[in-house]
Amino acid sequence: MSYYERYHPLEEIYEWINKTTHDHSDMVKVILIGSSYEKRPLYVLKLSGKGGTQPKRAMWIDCGIHAREWISQAFCLWFVQYSVEYYNHIPDITEILDNMDVYVLPVMNPDGYKYTWTTKRMWRKNRSRQPGSYCVGTDLNRNFDANWCTVGSSNRACDDTYCGQFPESEPESEAVANFLRSHKETMKLYLSIHSYSQMLLFPYSYTYEEADNHEELNELAKEAAMNIRRHYRSFYKFGAGAKTIYLAPGGSDDWAYNLGIKYSFTFELQDKGRYGFLLPPELIPNACNEALTAVKTIALGVIKKT
Ligand code: 0X9
Ligand code: ZN
């Protein structure tokens, strides 16, 4: 069983980041974009190919906004490994990396992830302390400035969908927002990886209104879902977040979309509830290959359009 077919505790992922950037220094650079509430580093890996035209377009993938969704963090590792192994060997990933720099944040919520390994496997939020409450943690996917803290999130610190004290109150969401703001000219595609329920979602989630390019987003998601079905016989739903899953404001995807990144998606990976967040490691390869199919389909589609 390979390294990528297992889940790894936070310390191992930091070691993996180190080793991967050293072993593939021609393709992979590490960027420190900030630190978590408990002062752990937030590292982004920048993957670049050698071909293509300058200035390069870019895309972003974050994993592990929610601590307990372990297949998400596992996917970011899987994706980076696939990129360094198959760049210049497989046409689709070569085309992607020749035309876009790919920024990958493998663990957006390191404090929460650590906590799911040591103390409480089903923890979702980060680990920030809240004034006047003994409850801990903000839902980072309710903490972005997109109709923040309205229906579909909670203003009570003890709830799992607590929106935080104000938009970007959390160092993790602020770091990501700052990075995306400073790269918004080149950033063409935003992807956020979650689990579970097998869905490919796009804006909006904070309103039932349709995004300007709803049709285009729907076509890309449909093509990705069709490819997953063809290759892996798994069924992924797709559609705007509010109508497909539920109304949920303050999400990173809606915020990135409103910033001007017109191709913005949240993927909910396997499964559909049999194991839920506790997806057994034997299912990692299939889950990651499905997600990879969707990432490649959408990235190639965006390259054609932009
Ligand atoms: O509720 C969420 O944040 C996501 N589902 S999860 O089960 N992984 O927690 C869905 C996010 C969809 N996008 C937005 N709500 N903006
Ligand atoms: Zn999630």
* Residue whose CB lies within 8 A of the most ligand 1 atoms, among 72, 123, 153, 194, for a mutation test: 194
- How many A from CA of 68 to the centre of ligand 2? 8
User: Which atom of ligand 1 is closest in space to residue 152's alpha carbon?
Assistant: 15
Residues 67 and 19: their CA atoms lie apart, in Å, by 23
| CB 67, CB 124: distance < 8 Å | yes
- The model's confidence at residue 207, banded by pLDDT at 50, 70 and 90, is very high
Distances in Å between the Cα of 87 and the Cα atoms of 94, 106, 116, 128, 170 are: 5, 19, 33, 39, 36
Q: What is the DSSP letter of 102?
A: E
User: Which atom of ligand 1 is closest in space to residue 252's alpha carbon?
Assistant: 16
What percent of the chain lies above the pLDDT cut of 70? Answer: 100
What digits encode the pLDDT tens for the residues 247-301?
999 999 999 999 999 999 999 999 999 999 999 999 999 999 999 999 999 999 9
Three-state DSSP class for 1?
coil
Ligand 1 pocket, residue 112 CB under 6 Å: no
| CB 201, CB 246: distance < 8 Å | no
Residues 286 and 279: their CA atoms lie apart, in Å, by 11
The gap from C-alpha 85 to its chain's centroid, in whole angstroms, comes to 21
Ligand 1 pocket, residue 140 CB under 6 Å: no
- The model's confidence at residue 54, banded by pLDDT at 50, 70 and 90, is confident
For the chain, domain boundaries: 3-124+169-305
Ligand 1 pocket, residue 73 CB under 6 Å: no
CATH class of 3-124+169-305: alpha beta
